[in-house]
Chain A
Amino acid sequence: MLRAHTAKRLLQNVISPDQYDFWAREMGSITAWERCFARVVSCKEEAQDTVSLTLRPNGNFPGYDAGQHMNLSATIGGRRITRSYSFTSSPDQPGLVSVTVRRDPQGAMSDWLCREARPGAVLEINGVFGDMTLAQIQPEPEDHMVLLAAGSGITPFMSLIRARLTQSPAAKVTLLYWERSPEYFCFNAELDALTRQYPNFVLHRLTTQSPMDGKSVSGRVDAEQLNDLLGSEVVDKHAQPLAFICGGAGFVQSARALMADRARQIFAEAFSPLKAAPTIEKAETHSVTLLHSQRVLQVSNQETLLDALERQGVAVESGCRMGICNTCSCATAAGRTRDITTGQFHSGQATRLCVSQAVSNLQLDL
């Protein structure tokens, strides 16, 4: 280890990290100085419009816990696009990770991952995140975990359920899993195997649009459904289960409200697709989160971000204030901006603050 470190330091005198990564790739390796590249080793059709990809990351992969997700980048049409995906593999499976992606025809990344990503393709992993892990939550062995998933909301739960049952084989785990119709259900073989292996694991598959074999359409989550599935008796707060909710923003909102009286604690994650971009005619205020200083500011969409930040006392390095010198350019981690010189909308890329306005709430790398 020490030797590798010394070799790296010596090598750094004649070659930059970018050059090292370049030559490694030219020689067919995804080894890198510090970036974490990952090669697609297999693709499997998981369900309708859904693909599971297995990736082999290079030695810079930091590892992960069940329930976490990662930022995954792919170069599509010359542009590197980054989106978050939950790990659907087990952390104890060495060297390989998998993600399950549902295709959204409007989503450049999911469409590419489902249709174009083939074994051999190289992606990049930019960090591993997420607090919905057993280490964070620390459930007691006797705690009942109730998981409510809609659509691709199932993905973080796969690793979480496996980890929970491995750690506490007798623990009670209930999964309520909604899809619009039967052909969309993922992980069928695996979930069925878990129900056979663990009698304490209860699985309910529910559909919202077309019926399953021998069952009627259950419809979207509502109180009556939950009474049927989870029981209607009033339970003391401390004896209530821990609830986990994951899915689109609408589902998470309704499920959270319905579970409020049924769960001791609720952990939720919403996956929401980007809304269509509005034109900036109506004056609106958006919140801007500065990631480094952890400040949150309110800015109007009628002024440039640079003006707005400076007016509120944020020191931003800037130069020409007309979009040419690139000094004030900063990475936008989330949200959309509009370039006032071109009228173009941008998301998830470097933004020249002096000629950009907020179109949505933003997270800036400042």
Chain B
Amino acid sequence: MTSSTSRALAPDELQQFGDELDALKKRALDDVGEADARYIKRILKTVRYTEFLGRALLFVGVFPPAWILGTLLLGLSKILENMELGHNVMHGQYDWMNEPELNGKTYEWDIVGTADMWRKTHNYEHHTYTNIKGMDNDIGYGLLRLFPEQRWRPFFLLQPLWAALLAVLFQWGVAIQDLELGKVASGRKSKAELKKQWQPLAKKIRFQLLKDYVFFPLLAGPFFFTVLSGNLVANLMRNLWTFMIIFCGHFTAKAEVFPKTVVENETQGHWYLRQLRGSSNLKGGKIFHILSGNLSHQIEHHLFPTVPARRYGELSREVKAICEKYGQHYNVGSLSSQFGQVLYRILRHSLPSQPKPFAAMTTA
């Protein structure tokens, strides 16, 4: 779907647009310091304490209020850990602190997928080639057709069901994304390669499953099943929440996809413009932004993935002003409106649809 509300930029305008964003990024990074360190340590502390309280309450989960509260706290802890802590730390936003437990290269998160795979599929592939069809596997996760530019197959007729399954099992979708099972099935990827990737993943899956579904339930003795069910529901909560936030980031009505040719001689300004046009923001309060890992500021995150995410809200005002100056649509809406648009895409493109020509980003 092309955007009619953003205008194509002349090469010199594109250069200035990029320079302004570069300057903004430099200003933000120059200011990074103690306040950011305090913030992320407070987040880490909240993650640890909510997990502890959640698990402790689940041990006495035979009392329904304790089970409900325990499950909510554990789910909250997992959401906060995956989003505001893990995701942002793995982008290297806090590497300047030199704190081993907050190091982007070595951080490991509370989810079945390995941090190493994520660093490749997300940090590198998704962030460099955002919304480029055929290069950014996040477009539908190889399972959904969200843009008319994706070729239609009868498989997609049932995609409302596939989408629901992906949402419920989102952590598994993320975990196996890089295995590219479709390629293995069609013979474009060797079994040996798959096996090599599978080994570290299997180890991580085993650790996660044993932790949530064997060891902690066993520690509860006779309350094995109350703990197990609480852990299961907490993981489910996290899956649904992260699915929703992430899908709102790139698949709203005005989010654009791009052909592979855009990366040829792509300038910094052009790269910024592509990030802007492929991303969309969510409105909300402070807690909402934190629980989304500040991915509710998806545009700012895509422009400045290495800037600590707590600064995106502040940066968004300036980014919006720059967008207005250069006649670019700034895609922001409420969660219900943006997620509604995502659901519409899932339904609409389960049926055949015709792509419009790719929107021109530059006048040259």
Per a CB cutoff under 8 Å, which of B30, B35, B92 touches A329?
B92
A342 at the interface (CB under 8 A from B): yes
Contacts of A23 in B (CB 8 A): 48
* Interface size counted on chain B using CB atoms at 8 A: 43
Contacts of B120 in A (CB 8 A): 319, 327
In the complex the two chains form, is A21's CB within 8 Å of B128's CB?
A: no
Per a CB cutoff under 8 Å, which of B30, B92, B98, B215 touches A81?
B98
* Interface size counted on chain A using CB atoms at 8 A: 36
A82 at the interface (CB under 8 A from B): yes
B316 at the interface (CB under 8 A from A): no
A293 at the interface (CB under 8 A from B): no
In the complex the two chains form, is A342's CB within 8 Å of B30's CB?
A: yes
B119 at the interface (CB under 8 A from A): yes
Q: A329-B105, A342-B26, A349-B96 in contact; A77/B127 too (CB < 8 A)?
A: no
Contacts of A234 in B (CB 8 A): none
Contacts of A327 in B (CB 8 A): 119-120, 123-124
In the complex the two chains form, is B34's CB within 8 Å of A350's CB?
A: no
Most chain B beta-carbon neighbours within 10 Å: one of A14, A77, A323: A14
A301-335 interface with B by 8 A CB criterion: 319-320, 322-327, 329
CA–CA, A79 to B306, complex, Å? 16
A184 at the interface (CB under 8 A from B): no
In the complex the two chains form, is A329's CB within 8 Å of B98's CB?
A: no
A141 at the interface (CB under 8 A from B): no
CA–CA, A79 to B211, complex, Å? 33
Q: A329-B92, A350-B103 in contact; A78/B34 too (CB < 8 A)?
A: yes
Please, what's the 1-or-0 string for B319-361, where 1 marks a CB less than 8 Å from any CB in chain A?
Answer: 0000000000000000000000000000000000000000000
B152 at the interface (CB under 8 A from A): no
A-B pair count, CB < 8 Å, reads 104
B22 at the interface (CB under 8 A from A): yes
Q: A13-B210, A80-B97, A342-B25 in contact; A325/B108 too (CB < 8 A)?
A: no
A75 at the interface (CB under 8 A from B): yes
B78 at the interface (CB under 8 A from A): no
A342-366 interface with B by 8 A CB criterion: 342-344, 346, 348-350, 352
A35 at the interface (CB under 8 A from B): yes
Contacts of B123 in A (CB 8 A): 319, 324-327
In the complex the two chains form, is B98's CB within 8 Å of A325's CB?
A: no
In the complex the two chains form, is B216's CB within 8 Å of A82's CB?
A: no
In the complex the two chains form, is A78's CB within 8 Å of B33's CB?
A: yes
In the complex the two chains form, is B25's CB within 8 Å of A325's CB?
A: no
In the complex the two chains form, is A22's CB within 8 Å of B34's CB?
A: no
Contacts of A82 in B (CB 8 A): 98
Interface residues of chain B: helix, strand, loop or mixed (majority): helix
B149 at the interface (CB under 8 A from A): no
CA–CA, A324 to B108, complex, Å? 19
In the complex the two chains form, is B92's CB within 8 Å of A326's CB?
A: yes
Contacts of A349 in B (CB 8 A): 95-96, 98
In the complex the two chains form, is A80's CB within 8 Å of B305's CB?
A: no
Residue of chain B at shortest CB distance from A349: B98
In the complex the two chains form, is B216's CB within 8 Å of A14's CB?
A: yes
In the complex the two chains form, is B33's CB within 8 Å of A323's CB?
A: no
A18 at the interface (CB under 8 A from B): yes
A341 at the interface (CB under 8 A from B): yes
CA–CA, A73 to B38, complex, Å? 18
Please, what's the 1-or-0 string for A63-103, where 1 marks a CB less than 8 Å from any CB in chain B?
Answer: 00000000001010111111000000000000000000000
In the complex the two chains form, is B101's CB within 8 Å of A18's CB?
A: yes
- B28 smallest CB distance to A (angstroms): 10
Residue of chain A at shortest CB distance from B29: A342
In the complex the two chains form, is A22's CB within 8 Å of B119's CB?
A: no
B99 at the interface (CB under 8 A from A): yes
- A312 smallest CB distance to B (angstroms): 23
In the complex the two chains form, is B124's CB within 8 Å of A320's CB?
A: yes
Residue of chain B at shortest CB distance from A82: B98
- B265 smallest CB distance to A (angstroms): 13
Contacts of A81 in B (CB 8 A): 98
A225 at the interface (CB under 8 A from B): no
Contacts of A79 in B (CB 8 A): 33, 37, 96-98
Residue of chain A at shortest CB distance from B119: A327
B20 at the interface (CB under 8 A from A): no
CA–CA, A202 to B52, complex, Å? 61
Q: A319-B124, A324-B128 in contact; A80/B92 too (CB < 8 A)?
A: no
Contacts of A324 in B (CB 8 A): 123, 127-128, 305-306
In the complex the two chains form, is A22's CB within 8 Å of B37's CB?
A: no
- A28 smallest CB distance to B (angstroms): 15
In the complex the two chains form, is B26's CB within 8 Å of A343's CB?
A: yes
A1-39 interface with B by 8 A CB criterion: 13-14, 16, 18-19, 21-23, 26, 35
In the complex the two chains form, is A14's CB within 8 Å of B211's CB?
A: yes
In the complex the two chains form, is B48's CB within 8 Å of A19's CB?
A: yes
- A342 smallest CB distance to B (angstroms): 5
B1-50 interface with A by 8 A CB criterion: 22, 25-26, 29-30, 33-38, 44, 48
In the complex the two chains form, is B38's CB within 8 Å of A344's CB?
A: no
B141 at the interface (CB under 8 A from A): no
- A328 smallest CB distance to B (angstroms): 10
Please, what's the 1-or-0 string for B251-289, where 1 marks a CB less than 8 Å from any CB in chain A?
Answer: 000000000000000001001000000000000000000
B104 at the interface (CB under 8 A from A): yes
Question: 8 interchain pairs (CB within 8 A)?
Answer: A21-B101, A75-B99, A77-B33, A77-B37, A79-B97, A82-B98, A325-B123, A325-B124
List the interface of chain B (C-beta within 8 A of A).
22, 25-26, 29-30, 33-38, 44, 48, 90-92, 95-101, 103-105, 108, 119-120, 123-124, 127-128, 207, 210-211, 215-216, 219, 268, 271, 305-306
Chain A to chain B: the 3 pairs with minimum beta-carbon distance, closest first: A78-B37, A319-B124, A326-B92
List the interface of chain A (C-beta within 8 A of B).
13-14, 16, 18-19, 21-23, 26, 35, 73, 75, 77-82, 319-320, 322-327, 329, 341-344, 346, 348-350, 352
Sample of 6 more A-B contacts, CB < 8 Å, known A325-B305, A350-B96, A350-B105: A75-B37, A78-B37, A79-B97, A322-B271, A325-B128, A342-B25
